[in-house]
A and B are shown apart, each in its own frame.
Chain A
Amino acid sequence: MAPIQLQSRLPRTYRIKEIKQETEMVRTFTFDGSLRARPGQFVMVWVPGVDEIPMSVAFDDGAVTKITFFAVGDCTEALARKQVGDLVGLRGPFGTSYEWKPGEHIVLVAGGYGAAPMYFVAAESVHHGVTLEAIVGAKSKEHLLFIKELESLPHVSLHITTNDGSMGYKGYNVDILEKLLAGSQVQEKSQRSQKSQRSQRSQRSQKKSEDKPIDRVFACGPEMMLKRVSEITAKYKVPSQLSLERYMKCGYGICGNCCVDPLGIRLCVEGCVVHNDVALKIADFGKYHRDAEGRKHKFA
């Protein structure tokens, strides 16, 4: 199989090397070769004869490229019917990526298949001496993604939440985020006043990473979850980076479908990963998105 070549705005088709059924509705496709994607960047995925849609890159280590998707619409359902050896078009990578500094203590908030890019961040950033709190949330146990992969990485403390309590904390991933940030703030204050660390602990085990204040938060998942992450991180004054998803045609700043109000910025170029100070200025955020014709649709 020919490896992926470096290209961006013209799709090429590649043969699927491996298919992994992650959950009932979620699959991961592996392709030979690299698009040199950074965590948080996206590609346009083309199913010949069907459609082309944007998708976060689930993994790219310079040797293989992966996409993880939920079979939910015409295009992803057609994609889900593909077998090993079938052709899928890719172009990109496009957009911004998550940014961190070596040695930081970072919280990852993953909702649904947003766990894929969060795992990509973790796999990359642990090479830079970063310690991570990975909060993975899902409706129930069988919808949790990338748990084993995250567990296998060094310097990653895993926090699992399910809405029904079938695994981990019963509730939402953002509840754990708030607890971690509240605890971190207490630690930071006490460190500043040079008192002993008698900080609050979340209900999970005491890991060394928790002794460090939290430097930043990365999140990927449903928009309403991102909205909560935005609010919580603003409240605790911790910088966060959020991956916002919008309808896209070109992926490189031409079609204007992903422009957001009132800034007018293009989420395919100035996003998808936006810093929270920008996200807070986006009127659309958590409220509405636009369709192929530019009409507004409210988030449920």
Chain B
Amino acid sequence: MNLSQTILGVTFENPTVLASGILGITAASWRLVVQSGAGAITTKSLWPRVHQGNPSPTIISTEHWMLNAVGVPDAGPEKAKEEIGDFMKDHLAPLIANVIGLSSEDFAAITRVIAPLKPDFFEVNLSTPTFQKLRGKLFAEDPEESAAVIRSVKKEAGIIPVFAKLTPNVLTVGAIAVACVEAGADGITAINTVGPGMAIDLRSRMPILAAKKGGLSGPALKPIAVRCIAEVYEATEGKVPIIGTGGVYTGEDALELMLAGASLVGIGTAVADGIDVFKRVCEEMQLWCTNEGVWNISDMVGGMHKAALTQQ
């Protein structure tokens, strides 16, 4: 059973990807994630300058959900160059450079710095809930704003494929995806965190997160991710690859996202339960596929839509 795929000219040993914002501060941690079975890694969001995150508590969870309001901290381009440069020396697996900014110019500036390091893909963070605090709204709420950012990143990315990372917090995720693709995006990442949500400590009567609210992730995200991926796949007619992210803990979760239309599957919050989650998810996918007579994992991609066509 073959878990590998070649997507936009890049070969992935398996479909699992470390999602942006999880670990991912240092080349050493990326290597450990690859050694733990991930097919690719995504960096934390890279800013064109030093960006301070929020005070703590920033990450809290129960077995049902995680809330995070880390606030996208980053030490700026010099550190990004150092860590990516280090990782690319042995390039154990594809590296997806996630970029962020407050304007199209910001996104262009950081892409210009990172492109010479030859990341395998760029992923454009249009959708962190932190944008609400920083600029009043998310880029990914608006097709025009999303398209403008994608155009500016594409100008700097050269031949490196660009993925737009979208928010589930709109009812028009398909339309936003289409706007990004028309602006030049080579692929879509869906989804970022849901919400934001809030948790209150009973005795102190205070919100627990210092930033009060934070993006929600964890197991409950999966049905929302599946729906968004399916809508993006339909709206883009299955023509661009999708990195599906949200609530993946098992091989069956990953396969479900792939049937909805994902070619690659991001894993994030599940890392809290063990960094070996990547290896385990791959083994479970392999077992399931072997039992069901699926020999190439790429045959699963968009399977729900294909099945619907057959039934018509």
Residues of B within 8 A of A87 (CB): 203-204
Q: Which of A12-54 contact B (CB under 8 A)?
A: 12-15, 44, 46, 48-53
- Structural contact, A254 and B272, CB atoms closer than 8 A: yes
Interchain CA distance A44-B57 in the complex, whole Å: 9
**Which residues of A lie under 8 Å from residue B24 when comparing CB positions?**
256
Within A30-80, which residues are at the interface with B (CB < 8 Å)?
44, 46, 48-53
Q: Is the CB of A9 within 8 A of B61?
A: yes
Task: List 12 extra interface pairs beyond A13-B204, A290-B26, CB under 8 A.
Answer: A9-B60, A9-B66, A46-B57, A49-B206, A53-B56, A89-B201, A254-B22, A254-B269, A259-B26, A264-B32, A292-B53, A293-B75
In angstroms, Cα B277 to Cα A242, docked, is 28
Residues of chain A within 8 A (CB-CB) of B206 are: 48-49
Q: Is the CB of B61 within 8 A of A259?
A: no
From B68, B75, B199, B271, contact of A10 by CB (8 A): B199
Looking at the complex, which one of A12, A254, A265 makes contact with B201 (CB distance below 8 Å)? A12
Q: Which A282-299 residues have a C-beta within 8 angstroms of B?
A: 290, 292-295
Is the pair B75, A264 in contact by a Cβ cutoff of 8 Å? no
Q: Are B32 and A48 in contact (CB under 8 A)?
A: no
9 A-B residue pairs with Cβ-Cβ distance under 8 Å, sorted by A, are A48-B206, A91-B60, A249-B58, A255-B22, A256-B26, A264-B29, A264-B30, A292-B53, A293-B76
State in angstroms the CA–CA spacing of A259 and B272 once bound together. 14
B residues 62-77 in Cβ contact with A at 8 Å: 62, 66, 68, 70, 73-76
The B interface, classified by DSSP as helix, strand, loop or mixed, is loop
Question: Using an 8 Å CB-CB cutoff, how does the interface string of A250-291 with B read, 1 for contact, 0 for none?
Answer: 101111110111111110010000000000000000000010
How far, in Å, is B66 (CB) from chain A's closest CB? 8
Shortest beta-carbon distance from B149 to chain A in Å: 23
* Known contacts A10-B208, A293-B51, A294-B26: A256-B60 contact under CB 8 Å: no
Q: Given A292-B52, A293-B50: A254 and B28 within 8 A (CB)? A: no
* Contact in complex: A263, B56 (CB < 8 Å): no
B59 at the interface (CB under 8 A from A): yes
B79 CB–A CB distance under 8 Å: yes
Interface bracket on B: 35 or more
Q: Is the CB of B275 within 8 A of A249?
A: no
Which 10 pairs across A and B sit closest by C-beta, in order of nearness?
A264-B32, A256-B23, A264-B28, A52-B56, A250-B59, A259-B29, A293-B75, A294-B25, A264-B29, A52-B57
- Check B23–A254 contact: CB distance below 8 A: yes
Q: Which residues of chain B have C-beta atoms less than 8 A from A249's C-beta?
A: 56, 58-59, 70
C-alpha spacing A46/B203, complex, angstroms: 13
Whether B201 lies near A293 (C-beta < 8 A) is no
Other-chain contact of A259, B28, B68, B204 (Cβ < 8 Å): B28
Question: Once the chains are docked, how many angstroms separate the CA of A290 from the CA of B28?
Answer: 13
Residue A222 at the chain B interface, CB threshold 8 Å: no
Q: How distant is A212 from chain B, measured CB to nearest CB, in Å?
A: 39
Hey, which chain B residues are within 8 Å of A14, CB to CB? 203
Please, which residue of chain A has its CB at the minimum distance from the CB of B18? A256
Residues of A within 8 A of B50 (CB): 293
Does B116 sit within 8 A of A, measured CB to CB? no
Q: Does A171 contact B (CB under 8 A)?
A: no
- Compute how far the CA of A15 lies from the CA of B201 in the bound complex, rounded to whole angstroms: 13
Closest to A14 in B: B203
B28 touches A261 (CB 8 A): yes
Closest to B207 in A: A48
